[in-house]
Structures are given as structure tokens and as C-alpha cells.
A and B are shown apart, each in its own frame.
Chain A
Amino acid sequence: MYLSKADILQHELVDVKQSFLKVHIQISDERLIQLLKFQLSICQSLYWVELDSTMLHKIISLFLETGSLYEWNYMLVLKELIQSYYIVRSTFDYHTNDDEILTTLKEEFLKTGDVSLETLPKRVKTYLRKEGGHHYKERFDII
């Protein structure tokens, strides 16, 4: 059966909602769309493009599992985490893969929780650089 693009998005949103329900958080459609739009705007501001539409779900479910997200702070923290992920992602090239960045982000997040989120990208970058990450370099010339 063929699914249109809107259908696929709907499916994914249902999946994301279920992940939230696992940690007893009721999330409204508007808030989910807000997160999606936030992901898009962060990518745009970094001149970055996400090809995988399930990436948002991946990030959200990873941090919901940590147990540090609650009804009263999850929007704020998730936004910070999404932003941190893309800042780090656009700094390193393909020698550092997505999972490696997510795992490091999670570890660093667990060290301090939601206390010093603004230094999170910096800490993750330092760690990954020590692990041998290469700086991202534009590969094509476009006039």
C-alpha cells in the first residue's frame, strides 16, 4: 500500500506520542508540531539539512529514557537538546557518526541533568575532538 507524505508524518507523530506516554507525559499535537518546527528552524539557521524524518523521534525517545524529563520541563530541555545535537553534528564530518554523537550527548547530559544545558554542545565537542573527530569541511564549490 502506498502512503502519502502526510500519512507518513501522521504515523510518526503517533509513534512519538507513544514514546511520551511511556514516561507518563501527555503531549498535544500543537506541541509536537512546535518541536518539529523547532528542529527545522535550527537546521535552517545552521545551513543544515536533515534527511531522516525519524531523527526527531530518535532524539526524543533517547532522552525520554533517561528519566530526567518531566511534565514541567520537557519542552525546554528537548529544545536545548535538539539544538545541541545539530550544533555538534554540523561541526564534525562523517568520521563521527550520528549514534556516536547521540550517545556522547546523552552521557554528558546525564552528568549534570538539566542544570547547565547551555554548555552541553561545548562539552560534547571537546569530548568528540579528543576521540578523534574531524572538523567539518565543505566539500563542494557552489557559486
Chain B
Amino acid sequence: MDIITKNDLTLFKDPTNNIFHIVTHAQTHHFISEQRANMLYQEMENLVFALGKQLNHNASTSLSSHSYKRIWDTLNYMFLHGFQDNGYLSLQDTSIQTYFDKGLSIVKKDVEYIQDKLQHLLSSSLSINNDRYLSILLHQIPNYLIYTNSYDALFHYCWVDDDLDYPLLDGLPLFHDMYHLQGSDLLLYYINRFSIEQQFCGCFRNELPTLFHQYEVQMGVSIEYLSINIMELLVMQVLANIILYQKFSVLLEEKDIHYLKEKLQNSLELPTLIMHALQQLQHYLPTETYNYLESFKDIFLKKYQLFVFEDIQYLIYKEPQQTNNVIMINNEDSSKNFLINLQKLQSLSSNFEKIEYMKQHVVSFYDVIDILEHDIFFDDEYLLYYKSLSISELAILLKVTITNMQAFHQKWVLNNSLFDEFDETIMWQEMLVKFLKQMNSNSKLELESILNTFQLHP
């Protein structure tokens, strides 16, 4: 935690605090004379002029208002860093340039630290296929570092262009406002917390793949595109294991969930039990990580209360694999005859023959889609083909076409929001929507019930 508190820039917490405000404050409270204040204002302008020329490669003395704002931001940022340990009295004899240079050297040191930390994080990164997590390590932080090596580096220190959108335990720094920090400070703060979380998750390196597989089965969605905090997920699991078995692990069985719920419901003091379990983590974790975890104990307590009393599912466990109502679609022998089938189909002229041929020879549903993509039918001929399919075949076709409905086990309803999922610029999908809209209500109900009963396993 030392590193995090190191950069506690109380100066930045107040949004009105800037270089101009500080000089005015010093003047009104008689730390410096009016003449000295005027000199400082003049120096600021000279500095901005010099910075502006530097930004323009000494070729022009004018610039866009965006760049002008960035120059003031830079001046402000560096000044506050240089000034933070000094009193107002020091403004009497120290020039702004001095503070600026001092601030710049501090910021440069911070950036070097970030660079080292990133190297360390990359070498010990988790094998998680999560978009947000990887984007932080491979794009967002490196992007900032690339800018700080460019010609304009000076003007990039005070601003992080990327969103830093992998959520930490305390949430997402939306528009960077949450931490009241900017530029290198924000990144330093973020990367320190990020590294603690990664260190924690690293303790379960071997169990993570299993856990994420269970997550995928249980939630119906892989963690790849989810914007979730992995540490939060793991802490919930570990606490459950500690309460039940005193075991430092993240994997749970189905029976554990019922047992845990019973145990927590019957215990008189749920908070004490959770706190006790948290304290036991102290033995397994480095002090830094434990302190960090402890500062968020309320989150876990609240979640456990919701889990016990509101019956909200927060824990991931090993579900027995569902074997009934699962259709396995194999892709293997489909591609072998695909070209032959396609050529044959294209040579056929009557619709009846085409449909017959499709039914007899094209086995895989992926092949059906590929063949439909080749425009072998025209306009109303599609309707004819769809009509020839049985309800269950139609259901499989729908599931193969629209894959994202499986996430979180959503319910299938044949309404306009489902039809919007189809790409209507493609002929066969447009006709499929038309066909579905024309279906009578009985077969619609039947189709919906079939859609909701089986699962696809590609």
C-alpha cells in the first residue's frame, strides 16, 4: 500500500486548484506582493509562449485552442507536481520554471516506474482470454508509453487517451473522474492496483481454466467479452471454500452451494463469519494484497448477504453436464462434399429437385447456411424451402444463425427484437424473417418451446 499512498496528491482533489489559483491565493493572503504575482503571471505567459513554439516545431506562434488548452494543462500539471511539498512562501523567490522542471523530473520518474511495472505485469500475466484485461496490458498502457517517447512527449504526460476500462475492485474509472487523477498519476494509481489484483489472481493460476469453463457452462457466456473484475469473482469463491473447508481454492461443487447457504442462513452473525473468513486469508496472502482486499470487505459482505437472503447467484460451481436435449453439431465431414454438393445444386433447375437434394445430401447445418449464402434459391423459392423443413429443423437453423442468444441462457421469443438480430441485407435471412412472420400462431408457439428446450454444442 506504500506505493499507492505515496502519490496522494491532495492538491489535485480540488478541481479549482491550479497554478493560477495558487498564485492568486498566495497574493490575497499576503504571502507574496502584487508585483511578484504579476511577475509570476508574466512568467506563465512566457512559458506558455515557449511551449507553444516547441509544440509547433518553432514554425508558428499560433495554435488551435485544443492545443492551447493542452499546453496550459501541461504547465499546470508539472507545476503542481513540483510545488506540492512547498509552502506559498516559497513563491517569493522560486520561479515557475523551477517548479516546472522539478515536476517534469518527478513525472518522468513515475513514467519509468510504470514502464518497469508493465514489464513485470506482462511477464507474470494470467492466461485469461478476457478482452478488457488483455487490452489494458497490450494496448492501453503501452499506448500511453509510446506517446511519452514521441516528440510531443511533454504534452502527453498529463493525459491518458485510453479509457482504462478493465474494472478494478472499486469499479470503472469512468471518464477518469472517479479517482480525481489525471495523466501519469492516474496510470500509476491504476497500475498499482491492477498489479495487486493480478498477483492475487495468480495464486490460483492452475484452477483458473477450470473455473472459467464452469463459468461459461453456468452463465452461458464465456468471459471473453465480459467487463468483469476477475478478483471479485475469485474472492467470493475463496471465501466460500474457507468457510466450508478451510481450503485455499476457488473451485466448488454443486452440493457445496446448498451446504454453504444452509450454514450461513442458520448462523446468527453472518458478518462476523465473513469477516473471520477474510481474516484467515491473511495467512495465505502477502500483506500488501491482504490490506488491499480488506479495504473492500464491504463489497463481499453485501454480496454474501444478497446471496443468502435474496438468493442471487454469485458463486460458480461444477454443474453436472446436461446430457438430454443437447444436440451435437459436428463440422468434420461436412466440408468434404461441400463443393460437389454445391455444384450439383447449381446445375439443378427445378425447385423441387433442389429441395429434395438438400434434404438427402446436405447433412451439416453449417453447410446448409453456406449453401444458402451461395444464392441457390431466388425470392419466394426460399419460403418454399423453409416450408419443407420440420419445426425442429427450423429451430436448429435459427440457433445456428443467431449464436448470441445462448449467452446468459436468454429465453427465445419470436418477436421483433429477435428479428432485428438477423442481417436483412442477406437474401436468405431476410426471407427467413418473412417466413417466421407469416407462420401461424400455433406453430410459432411450438417453435418457441422447442427453441427453449434444447442446447447446441458445436
Given A139-B152, A141-B161, A142-B69; A94-B57 close (CB under 8 Å): yes
Neighbouring A residues of B159 by C-beta, 8 Å: 140-142
Q: Report if A50-B61 is in contact (Cβ < 8 Å); known contacts: A2-B38, A140-B159.
A: yes
From A2, A48, A95, A97, B63 is in contact (CB under 8 Å) with A48
Contact of B68 among A49, A97, A98 (CB under 8 A): A49
Q: How far is B161's CA from A142's CA once the two chains are assembled, in angstroms?
A: 9
Partner of A95, one of B48, B59, B155: B59
Q: A4-B38, A140-B70 are in contact. Are A89 and B64 (CB under 8 A)?
A: no
Chain B min CB distance to A101 (Å): 8
User: Known contacts A51-B48, A52-B49, A94-B59: does B175 contact A143 (CB below 8 Å)?
Assistant: yes
Chain B residues positioned under 8 Å from A94 (CB to CB): 55-57, 59-60
B287 lies within 8 A of chain A by Cβ: no
Complex Cα distance A141/B147, Å? Answer: 13
Contact call A51/B63, Cβ cutoff below 8 A: yes
B293 vs chain A, min Cβ distance (A):
33
For chain B, which range describes its interface: under 10, 10 to 19, 20 to 34, or 35 or more residues? 20 to 34
What sequence of 0s and 1s flags, for each residue 33-77 of chain B, a beta carbon within 8 Å of any chain A beta carbon? Answer: 001001101100000110011011101111111111110000000
Q: Chain A binding site: helix, strand, loop or mixed by DSSP?
A: loop
Determine whether the beta carbon of B60 is less than 8 Å from that of A55. Answer: no
The verdict on A104 contacting chain B, using a C-beta distance below 8 Å, is no
Query: In the bound complex, do residue A55 and residue B63 qualify as a contact, i.e. CB atoms below 8 Å apart?
Result: no
Does A96 belong to the interface (CB within 8 Å)?
Answer: yes
Contacts of B62 on A, CB cut-off 8 Å?
43, 48-52, 55, 86, 89, 98
Q: Can you list 13 pairs linking A and B with CB atoms under 8 Å apart?
A: A2-B39, A4-B38, A48-B64, A51-B52, A51-B61, A52-B49, A55-B61, A89-B60, A94-B59, A98-B59, A140-B66, A141-B161, A142-B66
Which 9 A-B residue pairs are closest in the complex by CB-CB distance?
Answer: A52-B61, A97-B59, A49-B68, A94-B59, A50-B62, A94-B56, A47-B65, A94-B57, A51-B52
